[in-house]
Amino acid sequence: MGADIHCVKGQPQRILLDTDMDTDDFFALLYLLKLNRSELDLQAITINANAWTDAGHSVNHVYDILYMMGRDDVVVGVGGEGGILEDGTILQNVGGYLPIIEQGNGTAGYCRYRQAIPVGPGGRLDKDTDFGFRKSFLPQGRRKYSPLRQPTAQEVMIEKISAGPITVLIIGAHTNFAIFLMNNPNLKKNIKHIYVMGGGVRSKNPTGCKALSASQSRQCGDHGNLFTAYTSNPYAEFNIYGDPFAAYQVIHSGIPVTLVPLDATNTIPITRDFFEALEKNQHTYEAQYCFKSLKMVRDTWVGDNFYKSYFMWDSFTSGVATSIMRNRQNQNGENEFAKVEYMNITVITSNKPYQISDGSNPFFDGLKVPKFNLKRNGVHSGHVQTGIRDPFCLVKNGKGRCMDGYTTEISGPEAAHVLVAVRAKPNSHNNSSLNREFFKSFLDVLNRPEQCGRFNFTAQSLHYEEIFYKPDFRGKRLGKNIVFDMDMSAGDFLSLFYLLKLPVEIINLKAILVSPNGWANAATIDVLYDLLHMMGRDDIPVGLGDMFALNQSDKLSPAVGDCKYHKAITHGSGGFLDSDNLYGLARNLPRSPRRYTAENSVKFGAPRDTDHPELRQPLALEIWGSVVKSLDAGSKVTILTNGPLTNIAKILLSDKNLSSPIQDIFVVGGHIINHESDKGNVINIPSNEYAELNMFLDPLAAKVVFDSALNITLIPLSVQRKVSRFGKILERLYLTKKTPESKFAWRLLSRLHRLKITNSRYQHMDTFLGEILGAVILAGDRFTLKTTFESRPIRVLATGIDSEDGQMIIDQNHGNSVKVLDDVNPFSFYDVFANQLGDERQSAIVGSFEEQRRIWNTPRSTTLPPSNSPRYPHHLSNPKPTQTFLSQKKMPGYEAISTTHPPAWCGATLSNLETGTDPGLSS
């Protein structure tokens, strides 16, 4: 490359990347990892945790990519627990889960800006899982998230920036880096330059300009790109909108900044020619991974304008930044890929008129001294957008008037003088079908044999085989039909182990419904698939429920919505970060061939059919419907719920035929107050003293269920609290027989226990132990457990008022009669649970990921065992007397992603690539 001539000899330039791990982010990351390390050396990655991905999933995604690329040396930082005090003191290790304006002393909080980001398909669920490809494609190494051991974003920034001169690339919201700058002004001198993808200065959004009708016309000509919130704010771009005050701190830091805003990225949409060139040039694993992901973005893109409305944002920025870095003698940012010019800009953080007090601005509202000593009538003192439908911002029949996050040009002393990329440069070879210079570079760099990805998931093991396990029920009389409805909290996984261990002649677990609006984010459904695979139950269907509590999704853009209830759960330690990784143990489970995938078909409402629509993740109501359909005449189902009651309410609110087969329902949750001192457990909403969290998370759904005619057994908080002694249950599990599941449960519970003892963020861990009680009561024997029940008339409050929502009232006049578990013998409970998990029957088929790896690295004997006997020698030595498993080599419709051989050109010479057949690449 021409630019290499100008390379300055000597030490490589060090780079820190702050990313929110969207699809385009890992394009940027892979591009950086492929560059010549003696020139440009990516040394650290910090994860932006308040944007397009969830921290717990994105951290392992980064680890997987780095492992594939042989770069386990790159340090990764995510999260942190420190807060910002009312006087503006920024504590160490602020996690960046919340924008600076919302950051108090903790990681739970409202979704002021985050609300604009879709939660499910098309948003965080698809990004957390990379549309399902991440799990099928990326290999798994040793590094993984582990509670309290994971380096935090601030620790990584401090370590790497202290070590010497460094360049920072920010391709998400600016929270992490702004907090770093505000807390460590003495280290600013080490930061040579900041490159930012974000904002729109003179940009005019081309999306929607060719729409056929006025109703389709979206964002055409707007500065910003908030497609879910453009009616209230047509000015902002997502990265800056994610935390405008943070971006202000970065842009005005005095450190040289190069901005790659929408002005430039709008001129580099992914064209059909580029897409096809990438399709033809997948000579490395990294190129394959990018293409597969990009194809899924295209195939699930709403509307027919993918090639005009999906741009290279972060990837383009990585190109512009590194090209400028390689040409350091050029003073004005000359580079190969973008035209640049200096502009005087600022970031709008609040709306005029300034110095108002309307309750929208926590920097000022109710404070004697404004936070960070901000000026009372300054630029930060106006109305701050509170959500995507903030009435202040909406103008009837007109353009929205909120500008939070707008990178506007201004003059005078308030302006920051920054270099701005204004457009992408055309391809210097004008006979090429690739019309941008950067397209060529991206394809070239990604397909370079140097620093090539070593293997993908299937090639990671010599004898990889995709196997689908299903128990053989022939000749068995199956027991009571059960459907388990859970929100993927730690106790729910332990309850599931227990349910799977109960003899199928007693309990027939027919399906699992998942509520992704509780303790874990939707992508955690993959952990559930892995647990079922471990237990040989790939036959149990799993249905994914609604992303929002009843009535909380947005009327106009249902993919986004309010977090009125969800805000009760912390994002960091003890909250989503841990749930999403099962406290660091999720990756110890064997990997299931089943997984969430964004594959879908037109038949189910997708914009177009993808390659494998038959793999589509079923929805909770669909799974429930198929359970109902499968029942013999007169058969009924018992439901156990361990989370918010959204799915059950949806069943009740749908047609009657769907709810009539419900025999009874066991509800884990709810709190019955006997004394004023009996507090609930909605710990992050202090005004709500008496509700239990499962009820609070969707009070309206709880009301629907408790007002219904269902036959309800309640396992309330007070009795759950009687069975939450870690010491006792661990003692019992330690003494029981060692099955993979009893060992796993012991590890998880002892980890929760240790965390509870050592760290204040984990004080609520016993909640998860208590919630196992439901599963045990459901199938348990009254005499062994010494249970007593009482009938109570119960009503649930769903008033929309924080202090009342989810509260249970004993109401003799209007309450419905509910059977309430009053007492249980805790020691019997611990015994029953531990003994069942230690039972050698219905035990795990593959005990762990390590064991799965061993199997995949052992050549299979050419004579396979008969199909009704356990498959591997391991199982032959550990026979399952009452149940045999059928295994099927491949799940119908699943394809192994790649052969065990590396792509043809990986490791070959670059000249091979250059003589490739693609016209765009030949010169």
Binding site for Ca ion (CB under 5 A): 20, 22, 25, 171-172, 314, 487, 489, 492, 642-643
Closest separation between CB of residue 171 and Ca ion, Å?
Answer: 4
* Identity of the residue, 265 or 588, whose beta carbon is nearer to Ca ion in the bound complex: 265
In the numeric block, which tokens belong to residue 4? 């290499």
**314 vs 319: CA distance, rounded Å:** 9
Q: Are 153 and 17 in contact (CB under 8 A)?
A: no
Angle (nearest 5°) at CA 11 between 9 and 15: 120
We find the least distance from the C-beta atom of residue 117 to Ca ion, in angstroms, to be: 11
Cβ proximity to Ca ion: between 265 and 592 the closer is 265
Specify the residue, 569 or 700, whose C-beta has the smaller distance to Ca ion.
569
Alpha carbon distance 850, 201 (integer Å): 51
Query: 167: which 2 tokens?
Result: 């360049």
Looking at beta carbons only, is 80 or 172 nearer to Ca ion? Answer: 172
CB of 468 to Ca ion, least distance (A): 27
Q: Which two tokens stand for residue 810?
A: 């004993």
Residue whose C-beta lies closest to Ca ion: 489
Which residues face 809 on adjacent strands?
A: 795
Nearest distance from C-beta of residue 20 to Ca ion, angstroms? 4
Q: How far is the CB of 863 from Ca ion (least distance, A)?
A: 45
When the beta carbons of 25 and 554 are compared against Ca ion, the nearer one is: 25
CB of 207 to Ca ion, least distance (A): 18
CB of 574 to Ca ion, least distance (A): 14
| Nearest distance, CB of residue 540 and Ca ion, angstroms | 18
The minimum distance between CB 487 and Ca ion, in angstroms, equals: 5
Q: What are phi and psi of 486, to 5 degrees?
A: -140, 160
The Cα 268–Cα 425 span in angstroms is 9
> Residues 141, 461: contact at Cβ < 8 Å?
no
| CA–CA–CA angle 336, 452, 459 (5° rounding) | 145
Q: Is 584 left (phi over 0), alpha (psi -120 to 50) or beta?
A: left
- Compare residues 299 and 487 and give the one whose CB is closer to Ca ion: 487
Q: Which is nearer to Ca ion, 648 or 846 (CB)?
A: 648
Report the C-alpha gap between 544 and 23 in whole angstroms: 23
Q: Alpha helices, DSSP H only, in 252-312?
A: 262-265, 272-280, 285-299, 306-309
* CB of residue 30 to Ca ion, shortest distance in Å: 14
Give whichever of 172 and 780 is closer to Ca ion, judged by the CB atom: 172
Minimal distance in Å, beta carbon 692 to Ca ion? 11
Q: Which is nearer to Ca ion, 21 or 467 (CB)?
A: 21
State how far the Cα of 200 lies from the Cα of 225, in Å rounded to an integer.
Answer: 9
CB 242 within 8 A of CB 173: yes
Shortest spacing between CB 898 and Ca ion, in angstroms: 27
Q: Which is nearer to Ca ion, 314 or 766 (CB)?
A: 314
Q: Is residue 729 within 8 Å of residue 839, measured between CB atoms?
A: no
Single-letter amino acid code for the residue at 839: D
- Are 32 and 64 contacting, i.e. CB atoms less than 8 angstroms apart? no
Say which residue the tokens 């409202």 belong to.
110
Count of CB atoms situated within 10 Å of the CB of 214: 6
Q: Kindly tell me which of 171 and 277 has the beta carbon lying closer to Ca ion.
A: 171
- What are the backbone angles phi and psi of residue 293, rounded to the nearest 5°? -70, -45
| Coil/strand/helix, residue 814 | coil
Q: Which is nearer to Ca ion, 66 or 921 (CB)?
A: 66
What's the token pair of residue 687? 């005004």
Within 13 Å and on the Cβ side, how many CA atoms surround 37?
11
The Cα-based distances of 60 to 99, 160, 649 in angstroms read 23, 21, 34
> Could you tell me which of 136, 283, 379, 456 has the C-alpha nearest to residue 921?
283
> Closest approach of Cβ 119 to Ca ion, in Å?
17
For 531, the token pair is 């647990």
Q: Which is nearer to Ca ion, 25 or 802 (CB)?
A: 25
- Partner residues linked to 481 by β-bridges: 508
The C-alpha angle 118, 119, 124, rounded to 5 degrees, equals 95
